[in-house]
Amino acid sequence: MPRRLDHLVLCVRNLEQAGHDLQKLGFTLTPTGVHPFGTSNRLAMFRNNFLEVLAVTDPAAVPAAAPGRFSFAAHQENFLSVAEGMSMLALHSTDAHADAARFAATGIGAYAPFDFGRDAALPGGGTARVQFSLAFATDPAAPGIAFFTCQQRHAPDLFWKPAYQSHANGALRVIEVVMSAPKPAQHRAFLERLTEATAELDEAGRLSVGNADDRITILGPGEIKRRLPGSTPCDDPRFCAARLVVRDLDATRRELSRNGVEVRMIDGVLLTPPAAAHGLALEFIERGTD
């Protein structure tokens, strides 16, 4: 698809506990970052995308949603009133303001773009100011989750740090996000408008857009049970899994087992249950030349 996966927002109630649990899964996490709108995060940073572990840490600072304004933090509060898990998916952008205009024109997001900055801790000490612009899109048929594009408005070397990109589990990057929906085909038009690409619907009802390195897949209840045994299909569309590429799957399995993480091997894919990552199943696959 024209846009690559930028990051996944894993929304949790306790950032400290979630950080401990993600480290148990073999991820290196950045120090805590604080947003000016009531949330805080830690990142598992990969090659050109990342997993954002996020919690609402200052409810008094959360802005309310308003007509034409999407409140990132209020969305997380609403999401957590139901469960923990992946609440949003971000795609890479070079111009979020243009994205916001396109989303409005195509009927998937009549929201103003959102610009903000925060201080990021550097590996050797000190901080750097990083700036972002976001453009939001929502699917009326998937009211509990949301999507956005993310533009980084700072020098790349202020954000992408090799020290934060080395993980004990060998993870190199996220290559696929898996969603569960009762009727995947119902989301085809939205997905195509979001990604500016043609989505494919196969005979089993699996809907996907993108290539092997950047893909969004929507599965019905039967396919979720087949691909992600132990996951429970939801009545409403939800993000349910992320697939990550590693260089040595045996090394990944040893690291997870050493930390007492439950794993299953299914058709060459190492699977961890949703509970291990606060509602998000993780699939690890090997690609030695990535």
pLDDT of 287 reads: 82
Tokens of 52: 């954002």
Summarize pLDDT for 89-104 with one digit per residue, the tens. 999 999 999 999 999 9
- Burial class of residue 289 in the structure, from the number of CB atoms within 10 Å of its CB (0-12 exposed, 13-18 middle, 19+ buried): exposed
* Range list of β-strands (E), the chain: 5-11, 33-34, 39-45, 50-56, 85-92, 114-121, 127-137, 146-152, 171-180, 200-201, 207-211, 214-219, 238-246, 264-266, 269-272, 281-286
d(Cα 193, Cα 197) in Å, to the nearest integer? 7
Residue % of the chain over a pLDDT of 90? 90
pLDDT of 1 reads: 53
Q: DSSP assignment, residue 69?
A: B
Summarize pLDDT for 256-278 with one digit per residue, the tens. 999 999 999 999 999 999 999 99
d(Cα 7, Cα 93) in Å, to the nearest integer? 11
Q: Are 87 and 79 in contact, with CB atoms under 8 Å apart?
A: yes
Residue 177 carries which side chain, given as an amino acid letter? V
Which one, of 143, 213, 153, 163, lies nearest residue 44 by Cα? 163
Q: Are 17 and 10 in contact, with CB atoms under 8 Å apart?
A: no
Judged against a pLDDT cut of 70, whether residue 290 lies above it is answered with no
Indicate the average pLDDT of the chain. 95
pLDDT of 288 reads: 57
- The lowest-confidence range among 38-52, 219-233, 265-279 is 219-233
Residues 6+ apart with CB under 8 A from 155: none
DSSP string, 19-61: HHHHHHTT---PPPEE-TTSEEEEEEE-SS-EEEEEEE--GGG
Tokens of 28: 């290196």
Query: Would you place residue 230 in the very low, low, confident or very high pLDDT band (cuts 50, 70, 90)?
Result: confident
Residues 6+ apart with CB under 8 A from 71: 37, 62, 63, 64, 65
Q: DSSP assignment, residue 288?
A: T
Summarize pLDDT for 122-140 with one digit per residue, the tens. 888 889 899 999 999 999 9
pLDDT of 235 reads: 82
Give the three-state DSSP class for 122.
coil
Domains and CATH numbers, the chain: 5-164 (3.10.180.10), 171-286 (3.10.180.10)
Summarize pLDDT for 108-125 with one digit per residue, the tens. 999 999 999 999 988 888
Summarize pLDDT for 162-207 with one digit per residue, the tens. 999 999 999 999 999 999 999 999 999 999 999 999 999 999 899 9
Q: Are 11 and 84 in contact, with CB atoms under 8 Å apart?
A: yes
Which one, of 51, 43, 69, 48, lies nearest residue 3 by Cα? 48
Summarize pLDDT for 50-75 with one digit per residue, the tens. 999 999 999 999 999 899 999 999 99
